[in-house]
Amino acid sequence: MRVLGVDPGLTRCGVGVVEGVAGRPLTMRGVGVVRTPTDAELGQRLVAIEQGIEQWLDEHRPECVAVERVFSQHNVRTVMGTAQASAVAMLCASRRGIPVALHTPSEVKAAVTGSGRADKAQVGAMVTRLLRLAAPPKPADAADALALAICHIWRAPAKNRLQQAVQQQAALHASKHASKGRTP
């Protein structure tokens, strides 16, 4: 599975591509940051993020895009920019028919480090180790994007199995109710 991780941000939007399957060594295929000038108009910044994400999608052809779920922060202005960048990434993927998965920051930290309260340095160190890199990706937004991709690769099989079990249970339940309404 090839996953594009996106750590959304209006000034720096981290992007990273990881390939592999759960239980096997993973490979980094690319990492970087889509930057926008802070003095540019909001619409221009969102277009720049879209163009950057589209380039990554064209170049790496991911099977899935994992985006950090936006959570409420004290600074509403920051959370709005993050939400807008997140929406652009989801739109770019969805327009191409690429599935989008959202992961909370604590879910990503727990998957990569074992603790949902890990700091940026711990996440960067584990990403470096897991992907066998010479040094942590800089800035932290890039390392976070790789962590999102790793989290998704590791958690997607379990989520898919759970989803299938729920669907099977619903189908079984529906067939039982359907058979009760019929006359023999």
> Tens digit of pLDDT per residue, the chain (184 long)?
999 999 999 999 999 999 999 999 999 999 999 999 999 999 999 999 999 999 999 999 999 999 999 876 677 778 899 999 999 999 999 999 999 999 999 999 999 999 999 999 999 999 999 999 999 999 999 999 999 999 999 998 666 555 666 677 777 878 777 766 655 4
What residue ranges do the domains of the chain occupy?
2-180
Q: Which residues of 73-98 are buried (b: 16+ CB within 10 A; e: fewer)?
A: eeeeeeeebbebbbebbbebbeeeeb
C-alpha–C-alpha distance, residues 147 and 51, integer Å: 23
DSSP conformational letter for 171: H
Point out the annotated binding site: 7, 68, 141
Q: Give the tokens for residue 3.
A: 């996953």
CA distances from 49 to 69, 70, 110, 181 (A): 17, 17, 28, 54
Catalytic site includes residue 7? yes
Of the candidates 19, 119, 141, 144, the residue annotated as catalytic is 141
pLDDT at 163: 61
| Active-site residue, selected from the candidate residues 19, 39, 63, 68 | 68
C-alpha pair distances (Å), 101 with each of 1, 57, 173: 14, 15, 28
68 is an active site residue: yes
Q: CA-to-CA distance for 110 and 106, rounded, in angstroms?
A: 6
Pick the CATH number of 2-180 from 3.40.630.10, 3.30.420.10, 3.40.50.300, 3.30.479.30: 3.30.420.10
Instruction: Enter the DSSP assignment of 34.
Output: E
Rounded-to-integer distance, Cα 46 and Cα 99, Å: 21
Does the active-site annotation cover 39? no
